[in-house]
Amino acid sequence: MKKIILLSYLFACSLVTFAQTPAPATKPAPAPAAKPAPAPAAKPAPAAKSDAKPGSAIGVNFSTNGIGLQFARDIGTSKLLAFEIGASYLPYSISNMQLELDGSKLNLNGDIKLGAINAMIDFYPMKNAFKFTAGLSYMLTEASFTATPVDSAKQGDIMISPEEQGIISIGATMGPIVPYVGIGFGRAVPKKRFSFNFEMGAYYINQPNISFKTTGMLEPTSSQQPVLQGNVADYNWLPMMNMGFNFKISK
């Protein structure tokens, strides 16, 4: 009996001790990390507006076509292309110039007109002053001469006066509308205020048109016109050299 009571007492004490033992503290579950709010997408900065505008210029030229003026304007704002239109002209005359041909003295008179009206496009492949030029020209270049004998000619016992011998008339024209290609240095529209330009090129004239007429005793030689025309059949290109100054008149 005592054993039963003792066991009951020990069992009760064990229950009390177990009830008084604190439960192990539970760690709180970590709160989920807050995701950072996405930063607003940066708007691209607006493209800066370019102040570049097509410019214009006027120029003075000195060329194998004479003295001339031109107007030029940029095509767009890239400075790669420019359009120019201009004209040059130089007439001069030959009066009473004597020359000797086959032992006969001739008195030579004539008029020479040099000139062209041009419409050109300049291309600047490296955006500097180096350029290629191409376009069309209305040619004003022409020449006409007359030659008359200075002395009387003797044929047997007969003296033939200069008037009876006759007059030789010869002329040359070209074009009128011909293509042109060239290469040079210098801007038709300066980047600043002033520019110098130099250019070399050639007109494709196909061949000059030759006229040849004679009068008096020389009249039968007029048949030589086709021969003279054939002599210039291979003369297809007319060289041109030009230099000048350009002045910018607007931005």
Indicate the SS3 state at residue 68. Answer: strand
CB-CB contact of 228 with 97 (8 Å):
no
Residue range 98-122: mean pLDDT, rounded: 91
Average pLDDT value over all residues in the chain = 84
pLDDT over 70 at 33, yes or no: no
Query: What is the predicted pLDDT for the residue at 19?
Result: 43
pLDDT-above-90 percentage for the chain: 57
Query: What is the predicted pLDDT for the residue at 44?
Result: 58
pLDDT over 60 at 6, yes or no: no
* Domain 56-250 -> CATH class: mainly beta
Ordered by start, the domain boundaries in the chain are 56-250
CB-CB contact of 73 with 55 (8 Å):
yes
CB-CB contact of 123 with 83 (8 Å):
no
Q: Which sign does the torsion angle of CA 183, 186, 190, 191 carry?
A: positive
- Stated pTM of the model: 0.72
Q: How would residue 77 be classed by pLDDT, with cut points 50, 70 and 90? A: confident
